[in-house]
Amino acid sequence: MNAYPTAAMVARDFASLQGRVAIITGAGQGIGRVLAKAFAQCGAISVIAELNAAKGEAVTKEIVDAGGKAFAATTDVSSEDSVADMVALVERHFGRVDILVNNAGIFSTLEMRPFDQIPLEEWERVLRVNVTGAFLCSRAVLPAMRRAGWGRIIHMASGAVTLGRPNYLHYIASKGALAGMTGSMAREVGAHSITVNAILPGATFTEIERKTVTPEQKVRIISQQCIPRAETADDLVGTVLFLASDSSAFLTGQCLTVDGGATHR
Ligand SMILES: NC(=O)c1ccc[n+]([C@@H]2O[C@H](COP(=O)([O-])OP(=O)(O)OC[C@H]3O[C@@H](n4cnc5c(N)ncnc54)[C@H](O)[C@@H]3O)[C@@H](O)[C@H]2O)c1
Name the residue of 24, 31, 37 whose CB sits within 8 Å of the most ligand 1 atoms, as the mutation to test its pocket.
31
Cβ–ligand 1 distance for 103 under 6 Å, the answer: yes
The number of distinct structural domains making up the chain is 1
252 in a structural domain: yes
45 in a structural domain: yes
pLDDT of residue 187: 98
pLDDT tens by residue, 86-117? 999 999 999 999 999 999 999 999 999 999 99
The CA distances from residue 249 to 194, 196, 246, in Å, are 8, 10, 6
b/e map 23-62, b = 16+ CB within 10 Å: bbbbbbbbbbbbbbbbbbbbbbbbbbbbbeeebbbbbbeb
CATH number at residue 102: 3.40.50.720
Local structure of residue 16 (DSSP, 8 states): G
265 in a structural domain: no
pLDDT tens by residue, 220-254? 999 999 999 999 999 999 999 999 999 999 999 99
Q: What is the pTM of this model?
A: 0.97
- Distance from C-alpha of 47 to C-alpha of 39, rounded to nearest angstrom: 10
pLDDT of residue 2: 64
pLDDT tens by residue, 61-73? 999 999 999 999 9
63 in a structural domain: yes
Q: Which residue range is the domain that position 254 belongs to?
A: 7-258
Interval between CA 172 and ligand 1 midpoint (Å)? 14
Count of CA atoms in the C-beta half-sphere (13 A) of 103: 28
24 in a structural domain: yes
1 in a structural domain: no
Interval between CA 107 and ligand 1 midpoint (Å)? 5
- Distance from C-alpha of 26 to C-alpha of 88, rounded to nearest angstrom: 18
AA letter at 93: H
Atom of ligand 1 nearest to the CA of 175: 43
User: What proportion of the chain, given as a percentage, has pLDDT over 70?
Assistant: 98
240 in a structural domain: yes
Name the residue of 59, 62, 78, 107 whose CB sits within 8 Å of the most ligand 1 atoms, as the mutation to test its pocket.
107
In this structure, which residue's CA is closest to atom 25 in ligand 1?
A: 26
Distance of CA 56 to the CA centre of its chain: 15
- Distance from C-alpha of 17 to C-alpha of 131, rounded to nearest angstrom: 27
Atom of ligand 1 nearest to the CA of 231: 3
118 in a structural domain: yes
